[in-house]
Amino acid sequence: MSVPYTPWPQETAALYRAKGYWRDEPLTSVISRHTGKAALAPAILCGERRFRYADVERLSDRLACAFQARGLRPGDTALVQLPNRAEFHLVFFALLKCGAVPVNALNNHGAFELLAYARQIEPRVAVLARSHPLVAEDPAGERPGSLLAALGESVGLERVLLLDGAERTPEECLGGFAWADDAPLAATEGATPDPAIDPTGLAFFQLSGGSTGTPKLIPRTHNDYLYSVRQSVEVCGLDSSCRFLCALPAPHNFTLSSPGALGVFLAGGAVVMAGDPGPATCFALIEAHRVTWAALVPPVLSLWLEEAGRTDRDLSSLEIVQVGGAKLSAAVAERVAERLGCRLQQVFGMAEGLVNYTRLDDDDWTIVNTQGRPMSADDEVRILDPAGHPVAPGEAGELWTRGPYTFRGYYKADLHNARVFDADGFYCSGDLVSRTPDGNLIVCGRSKDQINRGGEKIDAQEVEDVLAGHPAVRHAAVVAMPDPLMGERSCAFLLAPSDTRPSELRRFLRERGLADYKLPDRFVFVTELPKTAVGKIDKQSLRDRLKRDAAQTIAEQTSVPA
Ligand code: AMP
Ligand code: DBH
């Protein structure tokens, strides 16, 4: 049994194999390829702990045996939510070794998102952190967390593996895992799992930022994902001297694969796990572990730049800071070299596939002002106007793409797939971009109904749908508003009585289990919402209004005498 996904056309797949992009190797080879002396090098540094490649291989083998003993089989799926700790990677590799297909939810996802994923994949197992607020038991310890109950009710989930919060050495580390129903963890020392990986099939589901109301899952195969990792390592010139700071959420496509933790493993370097991306935590880790690479979103970079001016920490080991996930302003980009004493690489990627990098030897203008160019010679990019015609050189249009690591269809989403793919298999990312004469892309906007809150994507319709369930709300329109630090924050325009309290609306959204970052930053109560000529809500005019407000505020602030 295998999990179905939309395949590439046969002749395209044959071409990608012939070109050596797809090698029918499992993703787990990024670890298992390190044998002999190389396996003794550190792979993951987490708190005081040091996991060598041999440890990652052995521990993920043993965990895979534990899953197999509990009946996990190829073609099963798994729901995972773990914080940035070494165990995230151990569980990921263990599930792959079982041929099981995981969804790695972000640690700040709520019950709303987890249940939405679970309903789509109907997981055979879940792996969750015992201390997560969604899971934590009540003080009396008599009743399981509400998420476990909800997962049981909605998808009949029975097997839940819980990870405790203790920092255990690699030798002891599996002692932190326990089945929620107290079944024994059959993770015997020295055990190897039954071979179960089909390297020609699906590896895992990546998460889409979404713009349609329901969180979408992106099937990623061993072949396409491993190619994206290999090519990223090549373009970024990673080698075994790399010490990579995993500061953004570990499951994020950027942190996992661009080149991310998997790229660092492939190259034989070490991944340093950070519990949060803030400068206090990260600067200490950079100093302690002589970190050379970090991947950040723009608002985090701004915090780092600010703190870099006053820290006593030694940041001299930093060679490259990669920034992606949301548009980086040129003004901030320009300060990286001077403040952090390292080079900048802009990364414009998507969990759906296509990743663009500025190259390390690009000229300063390109690195500061563009979001880079596709990493593969076989990435095909079209920039089209709304009628589907190529725009004139240098003009902005919608980005359509296909290639050796860009997916061909969201999981179980035929209707949506019909809208975002054309007949030739090109995917419309919903980004508005222009192309420089050198082929670099500049992101200038977006056509999808989404808010990009400093790299965290918010599906406007999803929040509107939940808001519409509140008795006081007759209609909701959620749009982006400009923000100096985050780039964008979210604002909800509501047809609702003006005495409705934002705090009550926030409580309502939280109670529905929506992730905190999706709660609107601002609520505006209106008696009427502007309409377009065809009678749809005119979100552009709402965005324009917020932009005018922001410009006004800046004008007022700058006209105040100092
Ligand atoms: P996701 O669907 O969560 O994988 O998010 C991918 C989206 O993030 C892209 O389609 C862009 O809208 C946005 N994005 C990623 N990197 C950048 C970047 N460097 N500059 C501007 N937008 C970006
Ligand atoms: O935002 C993203 O999804 C993203 C950003 C940078 C990404 O998926 C990536 C690099 O691979």
Give, using CA atoms, the residue closest to atom 9 of ligand 1: 350
pTM: 0.96
Measured between alpha carbons, how far is 233 from 225 in angstroms, rounded to an integer?
12
Mean per-residue pLDDT over the chain, rounded: 95
Residue type, position 367, single letter? I
Point out the ligand nearest to the CA of residue 487: 1
Distance 242 CA to ligand 1 centre (A): 25
Q: List where CATH 3.40.50.12780 sits in the chain.
A: 21-37+47-209
Tell me the pLDDT tens digit for each residue of 395-435. Answer: 999 999 999 999 999 999 999 999 999 999 999 999 999 99
Residue among 244, 347, 405, 443 to mutate when testing ligand 2 (max atoms within 8 A of CB): 347
Amino acid 209: pLDDT: 87
Distance 326 CA to ligand 1 centre (A): 5
Residue type, position 542, single letter? L
Output the DSSP codes for 317-332: T--EEEEESSPPPHHH
| DSSP SS3 for 208 | coil
Tell me the pLDDT tens digit for each residue of 171-225. Answer: 999 999 999 999 999 888 888 888 889 999 999 999 998 887 888 999 999 999 9
Residue among 206, 253, 375 to mutate when testing ligand 2 (max atoms within 8 A of CB): 253
Residue among 216, 227, 248, 252 to mutate when testing ligand 2 (max atoms within 8 A of CB): 252
Does position 143 have pLDDT exceeding 60, yes or no?
no
Point out the ligand nearest to the CA of residue 106: 1
Tell me the pLDDT tens digit for each residue of 71-112. Answer: 999 999 999 999 999 999 999 999 999 999 999 999 999 999
Tell me the pLDDT tens digit for each residue of 11-27. Answer: 999 999 999 999 999 99
Distance 253 CA to ligand 2 centre (A): 5
Give, using CA atoms, the residue closest to atom 12 of ligand 1: 431
Q: Which residue in 551, 480, 555 sits closest to 211, CA to CA? A: 480
Residues 6 or more apart whose CB falls under 8 angstroms from that of 162 comprise 127, 128, 129, 130, 135, 177, 178, 179, 180
Does position 142 have pLDDT exceeding 60, yes or no?
no
Amino acid 136: pLDDT: 81
Residue among 297, 350, 371, 446 to mutate when testing ligand 2 (max atoms within 8 A of CB): 350
Residues 6 or more apart whose CB falls under 8 angstroms from that of 243 comprise 269, 270, 272, 289, 290, 291, 292, 293, 317
How many residues are recorded in the chain?
562
Does position 245 have pLDDT exceeding 50, yes or no?
yes
Tell me the pLDDT tens digit for each residue of 495-540. Answer: 999 999 999 999 999 999 999 999 999 999 999 999 998 889 999 9
Distance 351 CA to ligand 2 centre (A): 6
Does position 444 have pLDDT exceeding 80, yes or no?
yes
Helix segments in 258-329, DSSP class H = 260-267, 279-289, 298-308
**Percent of the chain scoring above 90 in pLDDT:** 88
**Percent of the chain scoring above 70 in pLDDT:** 97
Distance 202 CA to ligand 2 centre (A): 20
Four-point Cα dihedral 372, 374, 376, 382, nearest 10: -160
Give, using CA atoms, the residue closest to atom 4 of ligand 2: 349
Q: Which atom of ligand 1 is nearest to the CA of 208?
A: 2
Distance 121 CA to ligand 1 centre (A): 25
Please give all residues whose beta carbon lies within 6 A of any atom in ligand 2, as ranges: 253-254, 257-258, 324-325, 347, 349-351, 355
Measured between alpha carbons, how far is 299 from 338 in angstroms, rounded to an integer?
18
Q: Which CATH code, of 3.40.50.2300, 3.40.50.920, 3.30.300.30, 3.40.50.970, is assigned to 449-554?
A: 3.30.300.30
Q: List where CATH 3.30.300.30 sits in the chain.
A: 449-554
Distance 142 CA to ligand 1 centre (A): 43
Give, using CA atoms, the residue closest to atom 1 of ligand 1: 209
> Confidence band (pLDDT; 50, 70, 90) for 562?
very low
Average pLDDT over residues 315-327: 98
> At the top level of CATH, which class does the domain 21-37+47-209 belong to?
alpha beta
| DSSP SS3 for 82 | coil
Point out the ligand nearest to the CA of residue 345: 1
Please give all residues whose beta carbon lies within 6 A of any atom in ligand 1, as ranges: 208-209, 253, 324-327, 346-351, 371, 429, 431, 443, 446, 452, 457
Does position 3 have pLDDT exceeding 60, yes or no?
yes
Distance 443 CA to ligand 1 centre (A): 9
Give, using CA atoms, the residue closest to atom 23 of ligand 1: 326
DSSP state of 66: H
Q: Judging by beta carbons within 10 Å of its beta carbon (0-12, 13-18, 19+), is residue 45 exposed, middle or buried?
A: buried
Point out the ligand nearest to the CA of residue 260: 2
Amino acid 1: pLDDT: 73
Q: Which range is most confident: 23-37, 127-141, 150-164?
A: 23-37
Amino acid 538: pLDDT: 96
Distance 254 CA to ligand 2 centre (A): 4
The CB-based long-range contact list for 470-473 (8 Å cut-off, 24+ gap) reads: 470/496, 470/505, 470/508, 472/496, 472/497, 472/500, 473/500, 473/505
